[in-house]
Every structure is written in C-alpha cells, then in structure tokens.
Chains A and B, each alone.
Chain A
Amino acid sequence: MQGDVFILNTQFECSMNLSVNRSDASDDKLMWQRFIAGDVDAFDYLMSSQFRVLFYYGSKFSKDKEFVKDCIQDLFLALWERRDNLSVDIAVKPYLMASLRRLMHRKYEVKARLAEDELDGQEGNFEIEFSVEQDYIEQESTLVLTQKLKKLLDELPLRQKEVVYLKFYQELDRNQISEIMEVSPQTVSNLLQIAIKHLKKHWRTEFITFFLIHLFI
C-alpha cells in the first residue's frame, strides 16, 4: 500500500487525486488561529498549502488562469483584513473553497455589468473534465471500462458533477458541500444519490456488454 501512496504523490501535474492535497486538518486549524491572531507566517503557510486546491477548484469556474490566481490572492487579502471578525472554529479547506466560489461569482457579476455585450456564456459555470491515468491500470478491459466511467462522469448535469467532485475528490461532507454550493443539505444528498445511481446503473450495463462481447470472441 505504501508504494501506491508514493506514486500518487508524484503524479499531480495534470491529474489530481484525493490524497495529493491532503493536509492535516488539525494543523490547518492551528494555523488558522494564528492567522486570525495576525501571524504572517501562518498566512504564508495557509496560502501556500491551500493554493493548489483552491486553484484547481477555481479553475472549474474560469479557464483564465491568471484570473483564478488573482481571485485567490484577493481572497486571502480580504480574509486578512477582516481577520478580527472571522470565526476561529471553522474547517479551513471547505471555508476557503466556499469563500473563493462566492468571490468569483461576485466578480463575474461585476464583469457582466461592465461588459454586457461580450460576456462569455461559459464563464462562471462549474466545468470539470475527468481524466484516466493509465499507469494504474493492469488490464486492457479495465482501461476500457474506466474510460466509459469517465465519459459517464463528464456527461453528468453540472450540479451533480459538482457534488460528486466535492464529495469524492475533495472529501467534503454533506454540510460542507451544502455551504459551498449554497443549497440545503437535503439537496446535496438528493443530487448525490441521483448521480451515483445513474453512474452505477449505466456502468453496469457496460460491464454486461463487455462480458458478452468477450464471450463471443
């Protein structure tokens, strides 16, 4: 098992998996408290350690890399200025993700008002594409099936996709997801259930088809 973790940690250039950005939540909390107390080192730590997660998440709302980076910088500056009024007791990563999402949406509204005529309809929506890292796959058949699953995931409706992403790729719980997406926890559960049910059902048909093909060849 150890070997797997290691490989995982070295491959985050273009496809991100769960444990890559797994930082110790209790460390984050301690640093958050120091951040609120005005500690610049804690600022540095939090921003450095959360930047990649936030960047990947922010990139789902905009393809403009520099814009996403700017938003993250603005987010940390805004938090720093308001640190006297921030709650000490929060889960750092979900809080930052929710704040970034709100900030980006606000910026879009401003942008939309300023440039009414040529607003890219794509911008501001949650867009994500899944990927298959072949190195982990031993059999050709598994590869084909994984690619089918990727396709199913890519074709999910936007909000279902986002729930799946936050739940399984950011490891957030129901309440955290509901705060980020600004919907009720029940809605989160519903979306998740519909999505997973759909994925399982259609993927299972793939299995059967695949099995039958192999039977006849």
Chain B
Amino acid sequence: MDQYKNFGVEDFVWDQFFRQWILAPNRENDLLWNVWLAENPGSVRVVNEARQVVLSLGTKEAELSDREIRDAVNKTIARIHEPLEEDFSTFDRPIPFYRATWFQIAASVAIFIIAGLSWKSYRSQMQLASDTIQVEAPVSPPALAVRMIEKVNSGNKSILVQLEDHSEITLKPGSSIRYAEPFTGPTREVYLLGEAFFDIAKDPDRPFMVYANELVTKVLGTSFTIKAYPSSKEVTVEVKTGRVSVFAKSDPELQAKLTRRELQGIILSPNQKIIFERDVVRMEKTLVERPEIVLPKSKIPHFQFEDTPASEVFASIGNAYGIEIIYDEELLKGCPLTASLDNQPLHEKLSIICKAMEATYEVLDGQIIIHSRGCRN
C-alpha cells in the first residue's frame, strides 16, 4: 500500500479500494487500513477528511417508499398469472413432452451450477454463521470428512429429504436447505430458505437447530413447519407436535441460549405459531390457522355435551388441542352446554360454544381467551 503515502484527499476520494473500506467495511479491509494508518500517522488527517467526503457525497434521488415498491411488484406478479391466449390447439404443440425435456435440462443445469456455487457461498456463509453464534465457543469447527449438502427443490411438488439422524424434512417447491453430513459437534444445524415441514428425530443430547432468515428455531425432537422466504415480510414457525423454542438471530444472549440444554426463548407448543415481522423485528405468538387434535387417536374424547358445565367443556377441548383456554369460572358457572361438536375444526367449535353462552373469544399469545358476561339462567 505504499502508493497511498503521497495521496491527497482528492486521490483517496476516487480510489476504489479506499471507497470500499469506507462504504462497505469488512474485517479484512478494516484491519488493513487501520494497520496502514498506524504506520502512517501523517495520513490520518487526510484520510479522515476523505472519508467525510465519500460518505456525504451521494446522488439526489426521487422519493420511493417501500410501499410503492411492494405495490408495483404485486401488480406485476398479478399480471404474470394472467392466462396467455389459448387460441391454438393442443395437437399442434406437444407441450407436455417439450416441457418435460426443457424442464429436466434446466433443472439439471441449475442443480449443477447451484452445487458449484453453494460450496463457495456455503463457506462464506458458514463463516458468517459462526461469527454470530460461536463468538467464543471453544468448540473447534469440524475440519474434515464433513460434506456440505444443499437440496434445492426447483420442481413444483414437495420433496422429502432424509437426514442421517433419521429426521425427515419435507421441502416445498422453490425452497432449499443446507446442512452438513454427518452432523458433527454438539448440535444438528440446518439452514433453510423458503418453506419446509420438519419431523425431527429425538436426540436430547444434540438439539436440532434451524436457521431461517432472522429466526433460529431450536428443538429436541418434534415436528413443525417454517416459512422463511427471502422476499416475505414475515418468518413463521408452526408447531405440530412437541415443543420448540424460537430466538431472533439478533438476540444478544443467543449463544448462551443455544448451548443450554433446556429450551429457552419463546417456547411454542403444538398448534401454536410464531410470526416474526422482519420490518419491525417483532415476534407475535398466535395459533396455527387450523389447530389439530394432539392426543393419540385412542384418547380422543367425544365432544358430546349434555348440560355439561362450561368448565368441563373447555377442559376437554383444551386438553384435546393442547391449547390453554382461559375463562372466568365464576361467570360461566351457570352456563351448562348441550351440543355435539365432533366434526368441526377448533374455531368452529368455539364459535358454536360462544354463541350458546353469549360469549366471544380471542386468540392472545397462543392461548384462547373467553370473554363473557355470564349467563342469565
């Protein structure tokens, strides 16, 4: 970097390498420039002035809100879904065959290229991941015999991915996962882009971790769905069975929470769902759209109620769906219920009950709250 010794402000301002350091500093260029400045204290003043110039000199741009971008993108996507004109007969165009060949070629080319690229990007991203997670972890990184595998689903059907620990991942179209095989170290880690359903084999000694956008999901053995499309404003985690804990990647205590064996962070139980709003970095716990019964088939009760006290009704339903139902016992004391509720989904059951009891309900923080003024009879 000798040439920089005689640089004036005007030279630094138009030097590509210098600009990169100012506008996109990373560990390497930061180190390099700081060492150079330490050796050349005479240049500190000039560098400082050049830095202010580079930072402050931008271009005047028209205002454009994120909302406007979203609207334009949505409008365009709506237009690509418009059907093309269909005034040619199918006989003239052997579409299925042609399309299949084209698709296979495109898919194989894509996979080939992605495999090559992913090795490169994996290495840089693993670097990133270890930056954020293992700040001072004494565990040395796996050095050899670990293959990094990337599965990309570029088709239009879900695919099943089986891991060596017998966990199964159902990968939705347009999604991809990355993981090491075999898993080494104290945890099993998977990186997700897009949407997938995870059925994770129990192994309490080796927690299973999914990194998806800004969220980290940690489980011991359970099944759940994560949606983390890069373009989406939300990341969601929905639990089917078992319990999972969810953290933001930005959590300052992330490292500690991940290494401890017990689950911390926001704990989700079956039928609960977390929505992470990426814009505002806010997590909201709620219920999945269609909660399912969590009890084994043999233990599912009949939801046949005849003059049954409200407390029993709610206990039976709450237990079946693994969801806490909160209500004022005193107020609902005189509200026996007669109903047959075997075939309705949860929300319908609750609506019917609430109608009968002149109550309303809401989902709050993954629980169900019943609001009522009591019954008249």
**A residues within 8 Å of B by Cβ?**
1-2, 4-5, 8, 12-19, 22, 26-27, 29-31, 33-34, 36-37, 39-45, 47-49, 51-52, 55-56, 59, 63, 65, 69, 72-73, 76-77, 80, 84, 88-89, 128-139, 142, 145-146, 149-150, 153, 165, 168-169, 196, 199-200, 203-204, 207
**B residues within 8 Å of A by Cβ?**
8-11, 13-14, 16, 19, 22-25, 30, 49, 52-53, 55-64, 68-70, 72-73, 75-77, 79-80, 102, 106-107, 109-110, 113-114, 117, 120-121, 124, 154, 173-174, 194, 229-231
For the complex formed, measure the closest distance between the CB of A202 and the CB atoms of chain B, giving whole angstroms. 9
For the complex formed, measure the closest distance between the CB of B348 and the CB atoms of chain A, giving whole angstroms. 32
Partner of A59, one of B30, B62, B229, B230: B62
Partner of B77, one of A12, A44, A88: A44
User: In the docked arrangement, what's the CA distance between A52 and B72, Å?
Assistant: 11
A203 and B10 contact, Cβ closer than 8 Å, known pairs A33-B114, A34-B154: yes
User: In the docked arrangement, what's the CA distance between A26 and B230, Å?
Assistant: 14
For the complex formed, measure the closest distance between the CB of A34 and the CB atoms of chain B, giving whole angstroms. 7
In the bound complex, do residue B53 and residue A149 qualify as a contact, i.e. CB atoms below 8 Å apart?
A: yes
A88 and B61 contact, Cβ closer than 8 Å, known pairs A22-B24, A199-B14: no
User: In the docked arrangement, what's the CA distance between A1 and B25, Å?
Assistant: 7
* B23 contact set on A, CB distance < 8 A: 8, 17-19
A-B contacts, 23 of them at CB < 8 A, read A14-B60, A14-B61, A15-B59, A15-B61, A30-B114, A33-B113, A40-B77, A41-B174, A41-B194, A42-B174, A44-B229, A51-B69, A69-B72, A88-B110, A128-B59, A130-B59, A133-B55, A136-B56, A145-B49, A149-B13, A149-B57, A200-B14, A207-B8
In the bound complex, do residue B73 and residue A44 qualify as a contact, i.e. CB atoms below 8 Å apart?
A: yes
For the complex formed, measure the closest distance between the CB of A43 and the CB atoms of chain B, giving whole angstroms. 7
In the bound complex, do residue A69 and residue B61 qualify as a contact, i.e. CB atoms below 8 Å apart?
A: no
Partner of A131, one of B58, B80, B229: B58
In the bound complex, do residue A129 and residue B59 qualify as a contact, i.e. CB atoms below 8 Å apart?
A: yes
For the complex formed, measure the closest distance between the CB of B213 and the CB atoms of chain A, giving whole angstroms. 12
